[in-house]
Amino acid sequence: MTTTTKPAAPVAAAPGRRPGGAALALRQGRLEITQFLRSRESVVFTMGFPVIMILIFAAIFSDEIAPGVSYTQYFITGMIATGLMTVSFQNLGIWIPIERDRGVLKRYRGTPMPKWVWFAGKVLMVVAIGIAETVLLLAVSVALFDLKLPDTAAKWATFGWVAVLGVTACTLCGIAISSLARTARSGSAVVTPVALVLQFISGVFFVFTSLPSWMQQVAALFPLKWMCQGLRSVFLPDSFGAQEPGGSFELGRVALVLGLWCVIGLVLCLTTFRWTTKRDG
């Protein structure tokens, strides 16, 4: 066996300054955000959906749920929670299968990019879009429907941790559920019904306590109900806590259930995540 031997490759000219992990994650996040903002469907349906819903709800329920408290004040909590779930759970559950099917994930795996950087990019995108969308929703509601924003630092803090825990749980679950879809198209078929059913039973479209009690109990197994409940403690007067199924806003339980879903989501991600499609080994 004869071989033509050529001069060997110059062994990596300058010993590489490999870009730092944090810098890589930021670049990845910026790329994800750019891709999201340039996709018109994503912007309209993910960012616009909660705003459109609050416009419709405010038009239908223009009266007060209690003296001095408008229905908008109640439904804004569901819309914020839904918006956060849309940008994390639905967005990832629909887009990751598309990227997996197109071979985008496989291509990333062939580069020296550490795996976690890709996840960090997704998380940064979810956080940035989630904040933008929530701010937009609040601004529209304040401008058009006299929404009262939280008036104490403690309420803003609650708003913060409920949103962070909720988004974390939904992001992890969105990444996890993305592995259920076998093809690019089926992501939406897997995720949309789950999201829609949760929205109906978790008090997004109806006053939660007006739902049948078995439905309330099913909803209590999933994060969305607890996100709504935590946000109600932020946007509604303290006296409303007595009307909750547990007799109070149960913030401790909100934190516990959302935290538990973060753990479940993380375990599912670590055990089931696939970089390639099944037919692709």
Partner 1 sequence: MDDELAISVRGLRKAYGDTVAVAGVDLDVHRGEVFALLGPNGAGKTTTVEILEGYRRRDAGEVRVLGADPAHPDPAWRSRVGIVLQGTGEFDELTVAEVVRHFAGFYPDSDDPDKVVERVGLGAKARARTHTLSGGQKRRLDVALGIVGRPELLFLDEPTTGFDPEARREFWELIRDLSAAGTTIVLTTHYLDEAEALADRVGVIAAGRLVEVAPPTRLGNRQEALATVSWRTPDGTPETAETATPTALVAELAARFGGEVPGLTVTRPTLEDVYLRMIGH
* CA–CA distances in Å: residue 5 to residues 12, 13, 61: 19, 21, 80
Task: Output the smallest distance, CB 115 to partner 1, in A.
Answer: 10
Q: Which is nearer to partner 1, 217 or 276 (CB)?
A: 276
Q: Which is nearer to partner 1, 34 or 192 (CB)?
A: 34
Largest separation between any pair of C-alpha atoms in the chain: 92
Q: Which tokens go with 273?
A: 């995540």
State the nearest-atom distance from the C-beta of 99 to partner 1, in Å.
8
Helix (H, G, I), strand (E, B) or coil at 64: strand
Q: How far apart are CB 18 and partner 1 at their closest, in Å?
A: 4
The nearest distance, CB 279 to partner 1, in angstroms, is: 10
Q: Which residues pair with 69 in a beta bridge?
A: 66
Chain positions contacting partner 1, by CB under 8 A: 1-19, 24, 27, 31, 34-35, 38-39, 99, 102-114, 276, 280-281
Min separation Cβ 144 and partner 1, Å: 32
User: How deeply is 62 buried, as exposed, middle or buried, from its count of CB atoms within 10 A (0-12, 13-18, 19+)?
Assistant: exposed
Minimum distance from residue 281 beta carbon to partner 1 (Å): 5
Shortest spacing between CB 276 and partner 1, in angstroms: 7
115 vs 146 by CB, closer to partner 1: 115
Nearer to partner 1, 50 or 121 (CB): 121
| 205 within 8 A of 79, measured Cβ to Cβ | no
Closer CB to partner 1, 271 or 279, in the complex? 279
Q: Can you tell me the distance from the alpha carbon of 54 to that of 242, in angstroms, rounded to the nearest whole number?
A: 25
- Minimum CB distance to partner 1 smaller for 31 or for 157: 31
Nearer to partner 1 (CB atom), residue 32 or residue 250:
32
| Beta-bridge partners for 66 | 69
d(Cα 170, Cα 9) in Å, to the nearest integer?
A: 47
Long-range contacts of 110-117 (CB under 8 A, 24+ apart): 112/18, 113/24, 113/28, 114/21, 114/24, 116/21, 116/25, 117/21, 117/24, 117/25, 117/28
Rounded Cα distance between 177 and 200, Å, is 20
